[in-house]
Structure 1
Amino acid sequence: MPHTEIVTGVVLDEVALDLDELAQACSVDTLWIVERVEAGLLCPAAQPQRFSSAELLRARRMLTIERDFDANPELAALVVDLIEEVGRLKGRLRAAGLDEK
């Protein structure tokens, strides 16, 4: 059996991906992206549909939660909202010098 290495990372540079590029970056069909945009779970940065690196990270997180936990898209989006909020709050704590290590 061939060894497949899966590499993941966080996008640091701001990019603008179109629908096809976002779908390819997430390894999903464009319909998966369109359904979540129409439901308001993913938000293009501008028209025509261009997606920021933050939306790429959000889409990947949603996809992982949907697949790993067999979650519906709305639940996955809620979990990602909470993950993002925790990240923002930790950033505020670090900025205030109150972070715990």
Structure 2
Amino acid sequence: MSSFDEEYEQRVAEARERASAQGRNDVVDYINLRSANDSMRARAVEWLLGAFTSVAGEMNRAGAGLTLALTEAHRFRVGHSTMVGPRLVLARGLRSLTIEAGWPRGPR
């Protein structure tokens, strides 16, 4: 887990505790839902990158000569939003396939 993720989780836990102490069960429910969504996104991203890595491995065993580069704390733009998540680049010679997966978030 990156320091960004650790700080994010800490701030979410603090917000959950404050909401619970103030009797704001609606806010606690929202925070729990958001945490569940973040967990599902993380598992989906792990599955997606794992699938591409697995296929690339099979292709390399057949002699494809692909190189793989994974960047965990990658930031990229989609429209006006800056997304945060991993990037996997599969390359062979001058050609490459880039898989970026992430979502906008930033603890404030």
- Calculate the TM-score normalised by the size of structure 1: 0.33
Report which of the two has the higher share of helix. 1
Larger RCO (CA under 8 A, 6+ residues apart): 1
Report which of the two has the higher share of strand. 2
The structure having more radius of gyration, on CA atoms, is 2
